[in-house]
Amino acid sequence: MLNRRSILGAAGAVLLTIGALAGALAEEKSIIVQSTTSTANSGLFDHLLPLFQQKTGIRVDVVAVGTGQAIKNAANGDGDVLFVHAKADEEKFVAEGNGVERFDVMYNDFVVVGPKADPAGIAGSRDAAAALAKVAAAGAPFVSRGDDSGTHKAELKLWKAAGVDVKAASGGWYRETGSGMGQTLNIAAGMSGYALTDRATWAAFQNKGELTIVVEGDTKLLNQYGIILVNPVKFPRVKAEAGKAFVDWVISDEGQKAIADFKVSGEQVFFPNAKKAGG
């Protein structure tokens, strides 16, 4: 009896603690940003968010998922700010009334990585579409996100430009992982395949194995990030004020400089290009 009582007591205490914690957290001003694995895994948010919190006292909680899922979550009103990289989808998001206004924030670029052995012979190429066509022709393994993320969409666009029907090759040399960028790179490293990745994730990735950058520098490989305040008219629970403060800060001179200052292994990986200056 004593034991049961003490176990129940302990469990009760745990619940109370959580309640108290939740209460304490609720006291603090905080917003939820739906964003992508590339921004989170590269460490950009770890660099930006403390600066923002120091200035405004607002804590930013980042949910890092694929761009597709991030947009979906935000379209359900689950989040205050959307910070992703799939311009067409972002504009559609705003057009459907889910977001207030879209702002360009920064860009980085995609790179094609592949095994040092380079079975498709594309290393050093500056034409991404032509390189991918060669990969297809060689039947060399290519590992795709396959998860409707921004990177996945960019990749599909390149295949289209290359005139390759990857659907037909799916399961053959074309492997869709349905996972995040890091998982996909893990798998590419494991099977010595080619993959498209954003430079930031690649720079921070630690399990490169035999992989190296084979194609970079094509203007088609530019990767534009945008930021949108979720529409508080449509979703009354959106913390409009704090969310807007974050959007404004990110595209302000101060925020833009912070982005430029962020480096992975001494290398700048995101290039700020917000059009609207101000704060």
Partner 1 sequence: MPTANATVAFFLIDTMQDFTLAFVLAGQLLIGLDPTLMGIVGLSLAVTGSALLVACLIGFPVGALIGFRQFRGRSFVIVCLNALMGLPPVVVGLLVYMMLSNAGPLGFLQLLYTPSAMIVAQAVLITPIVAALSRQVVETLAREYADTFRTLVVPWPTALLALLRDGRSGLATVALAGFGRAIAEVGAVIIVGGNIAHVTRVMTTSIALETSKGDLALALALGFVLLLIALAVNATVAALSLATREAGHG
Comparison of 152 and 175: residue with beta carbon closer to partner 1: 175
Quote the tokens at residue 272: 């700020």
Q: Which of residues 233-252 bind partner 1 (CB under 8 A)?
A: 235, 237
Residue 213 CB neighbour total at 10 angstroms: 16
Longest CA–CA span in the chain (Å) reads 74
> Which residues, other chains included, contact 33 with Cβ-Cβ below 8 Å and sequence gap of 6+?
60, 61, 62, 63, 79, 80, 81, 82, 83, 246
Q: Compose the 183-222 pattern: x for residues touching partner 1 by CB under 8 A, - for all others.
A: x-xxx-xxx------------xxxxxx-------------
Minimal distance, residue 87 CB to partner 1, in Å: 24
- Supply the DSSP symbol for 207: -
| Among the residue ranges 110-118, 179-187, 251-259, 262-270, the one whose residues contact partner 1 (CB under 8 A) | 179-187
Query: Rounded to whole angstroms, how far apart are CA atoms 105 and 227?
Result: 6
Q: Is residue 76 a contact point for partner 1 (CB under 8 A)?
A: yes
Query: Rounded to whole angstroms, how far apart are CA atoms 144 and 136?
Result: 13
Minimal distance, residue 18 CB to partner 1, in Å: 5
Write a three-state SS string for 155-169.
HHHHHHHHCCCHHHH
Minimal distance, residue 67 CB to partner 1, in Å: 15
Quote the tokens at residue 151: 């990177």
CA distances from 131 to 8, 113, 141, 194, 215 (A): 63, 11, 13, 11, 8
Helix, strand, coil shares, percent, the chain, to 5: 45, 25, 30
Comparison of 21 and 260: residue with beta carbon closer to partner 1: 21
Query: Rounded to whole angstroms, how far apart are CA atoms 81 and 94?
Result: 12
- Supply the DSSP symbol for 219: G
Q: Is residue 22 a contact point for partner 1 (CB under 8 A)?
A: yes
Question: Binding residues for partner 1, how many (CB under 8 A)?
Answer: 45
Q: Is residue 63 a contact point for partner 1 (CB under 8 A)?
A: yes
Q: Is residue 62 a contact point for partner 1 (CB under 8 A)?
A: yes
Binding partner 1 (rule: CB under 8 A), the pick from 29, 51, 56, 78 is 78
Comparison of 125 and 174: residue with beta carbon closer to partner 1: 174
Minimal distance, residue 77 CB to partner 1, in Å: 3
Comparison of 77 and 119: residue with beta carbon closer to partner 1: 77
Comparison of 91 and 176: residue with beta carbon closer to partner 1: 176
Residues at the site binding partner 1, with contacts judged by CB under 8 A = 3-4, 8, 10-12, 14-15, 17-18, 21-22, 25, 32, 37, 41, 61-64, 73, 75-78, 175, 179-183, 185-187, 189-191, 204-209, 235, 237
